[in-house]
């Protein structure tokens, strides 16, 4: 940590931190008080890390650190020294991750602000329990808040993602047609004519 005459010069102390972010090692000189969320957004370009409440209650800033969900708005970047951090940007190199696909298919978002936090919480949940029941899903996502949607579609997206990641098809549990259409079961993705 640079402490040479910082009190006299008005400069703030800094510290070098090295973090593996989405598989890439990143080294930066940062202030010890820099939040991990700000480090990820500013220094690493991870704009999917949202900062909502800045008190750790909304979950929009959720990332995985060494596989465990953390609120990046409550974690300092220096606490991530030598650790692996995964944000929503790191889920897939090509296309969407099955969790992201499932959130899209189940209409589990509206404004999208909270979605990356829900996606990362879902990843942690499914990594720990590949076949969670509804109660497990509700408990696993309890630290995330969505102000736009009802949680029903989010829970259904998690169930669909669990099926996809478990290799049980596309996760369509309602009509069994495999097309994602839950309205009429006709398999064309649209509400039937004359309905």
- Residue 93, burial from CB neighbour count under 10 angstroms (0-12, 13-18, 19+): exposed
Instruction: Say how far apart CA 175 and CA 35 lie, in whole Å.
Output: 45
**Residue 69, pLDDT score:** 97
Same topology for domains 13-89 and 98-165, yes or no?
no
At 35 the three-state DSSP class reads strand
**Residue 10, pLDDT score:** 75
Cβ-Cβ contacts under 8 Å for 21 (sequence gap 6 or more) = 40, 44, 46, 85, 86, 87, 90
Q: Which two tokens stand for residue 44?
A: 């690493």
The CATH architecture annotation of domain 13-89 reads: Roll (3.10)
pTM score above 0.85: no
Evaluate whether 19 touches 83 at the Cβ level (below 8 Å): yes
In the chain, where are the structural domains located?
Answer: 13-89, 98-165
For residue 102, the Cα-to-chain-centroid distance in whole angstroms is 13
**Residue 9, pLDDT score:** 65
CATH T-level assignment (fold) for domain 98-165: DNA polymerase; domain 1 (1.10.150)
What is the per-residue pLDDT across 149-170, written as a single tens digit (0 to 9) for each?
A: 889 999 999 999 999 998 755 4
What residue ranges of the chain have pLDDT lower than 50? Answer: 1-2, 170-195
Instruction: Say how far apart CA 157 and CA 144 lie, in whole Å.
Output: 15
């Amino acid at each position: 940590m640079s402490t040479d005459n910082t009190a006299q010069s008005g400069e703030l102390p800094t510290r070098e931190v090295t973090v593996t972010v989405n598989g890439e090692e990143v080294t930066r000189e940062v202030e010890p008080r820099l939040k991990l969320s700000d480090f990820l957004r500013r220094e690493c370009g991870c704009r999917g890390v949202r900062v909502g409440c800045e008190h750790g209650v909304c979950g929009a800033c959720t990332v995985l650190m060494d596989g465990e969900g953390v609120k990046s708005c409550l974690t300092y970047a220096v606490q991530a020294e030598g650790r692996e951090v995964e944000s929503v940007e790191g889920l897939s190199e090509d296309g969407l991750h099955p969790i992201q696909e499932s959130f899209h298919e189940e209409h589990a978002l509206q404004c999208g602000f909270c979605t990356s936090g829900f996606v990362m919480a879902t990843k942690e949940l499914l990594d720990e329990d590949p076949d969670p029941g509804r109660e497990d899903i509700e408990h696993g996502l309890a630290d995330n808040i969505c102000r736009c949607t009802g949680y029903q579609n989010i829970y259904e997206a998690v169930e669909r993602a669990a099926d996809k990641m478990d290799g049980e098809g596309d996760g369509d549990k309602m009509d069994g047609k495999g097309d994602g259409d839950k309205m009429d079961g006709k398999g064309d993705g649209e509400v039937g004519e004359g309905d």
